[in-house]
């Protein structure tokens, strides 16, 4: 397969706009049991205080409260289960980890299958960017926030989740007490149908090239006239990703 082109977004002053969009194309719904397990994991890692995630991103200044971290964690872990559907028949497959960890102890590899080292990136169903916080990567494409030595990924896969978990959780930020939060939030989450698509992926050489070419949306930039970027990010537009049908592992 030929190397993809990495199209620059349209830029006007400090405003950036996506010009290589891909419509959400549902692959399937998640099983209710999966949604329940992922809900419990995300709740335990936040409000349940059985684990912990960072309250700010690399290079970012925005402080994420527990509800935002819950939403991000729920979306991210669902996305791992989406990618698991691609690899579950491989002899080295391991299901996504649902164990909880304290701050500073987390997986930097979502799937280690044979010689393939795979990271999963998630966004909402209407998202069209694979974003990588610039501070986490060196010029050779090594992931610097690894729990061990810097790591090279063979594949970075973008997954999109529907519906929007932030939209669902927003109503709980001020309207529920701690005592009824888990019950109310669980009801809203597990009684919805959750689905995904996988617009594509990039490989190691793609990451190294987009770093060389400077595909960056800077901190403070306005994305699509609606989102102010909290940190510098490398980006690939969804329309420039490799088709997931060509994701082959050894």
Structural domain contains residue 109: yes
Residue 109 is predicted with a pLDDT of 77
What token pair was written down for 230? 């909290």
* Mean pLDDT score, 12-30: 98
Task: List pLDDT tens digits, range 171-211.
Answer: 876 555 566 888 999 999 999 999 999 999 999 999 999 99
Residue 28 is predicted with a pLDDT of 97
Give the ranges where 101-231 is alpha helix by DSSP (H): 165-169, 172-175, 178-190, 204-213
φ/ψ (deg, to 5) at 219: -55, 135
Structural domain contains residue 1: no
**pLDDT confidence bin for 108, thresholds 50/70/90:** low
Structural domain contains residue 5: no
Distance, in Å, from the CA atom of 183 to the CA atom of 112, rounded to the nearest integer, reads 35
Structural domain contains residue 2: no
Residue 56 is predicted with a pLDDT of 47
Structural domain contains residue 73: yes
Q: From edge to edge, which strands make up the β-sheet containing 233-237?
A: 129-133, 233-237, 216-217
Structural domain contains residue 150: yes
Domain hosting 227: range is: 10-246
Structural domain contains residue 4: no
Task: List pLDDT tens digits, range 203-216.
Answer: 999 999 999 999 99
Residue 157 is predicted with a pLDDT of 98
* Mean pLDDT score, 82-98: 93
Structural domain contains residue 3: no
Count of structural domains, the chain: 1
Residue 148 is predicted with a pLDDT of 75
Residue 176 is predicted with a pLDDT of 57
Q: What percent of the chain stands above pLDDT 70?
A: 87
């Amino acid at each position: 397969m030929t190397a993809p082109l990495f199209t620059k977004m349209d830029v006007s002053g400090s405003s950036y706009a996506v010009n290589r969009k891909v419509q959400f194309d549902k692959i399937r719904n998640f099983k209710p049991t999966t949604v329940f397990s992922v809900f419990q994991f995300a709740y335990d890692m936040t409000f349940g205080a059985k684990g912990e995630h960072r309250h700010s991103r690399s290079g970012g200044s925005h402080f994420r409260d527990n509800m935002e971290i819950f939403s991000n964690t729920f979306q991210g872990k669902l996305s791992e289960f989406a990618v698991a559907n691609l690899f579950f028949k491989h002899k080295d497959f391991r299901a996504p980890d649902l164990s909880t960890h304290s701050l500073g102890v987390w997986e930097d590899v979502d799937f280690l299958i044979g010689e393939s080292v795979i990271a999963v990136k998630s966004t909402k169903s209407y998202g069209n960017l694979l974003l990588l916080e610039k501070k986490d990567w060196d010029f050779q494409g090594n992931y610097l926030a690894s729990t061990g030595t810097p790591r090279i990924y063979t594949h970075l896969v973008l997954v999109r989740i529907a519906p929007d978990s932030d939209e669902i959780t927003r109503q709980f930020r001020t309207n529920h007490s701690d005592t009824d939060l888990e019950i109310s939030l669980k009801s809203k989450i597990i009684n919805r149908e959750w689905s995904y698509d996988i617009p594509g992926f990039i490989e190691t050489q793609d990451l190294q090239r987009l770093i060389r070419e400077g595909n960056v949306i800077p901190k403070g930039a306005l994305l699509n006239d609606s989102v102010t970027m909290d940190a510098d990010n490398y980006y690939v537009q969804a329309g420039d990703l490799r088709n997931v049908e060509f994701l082959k592992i050894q």
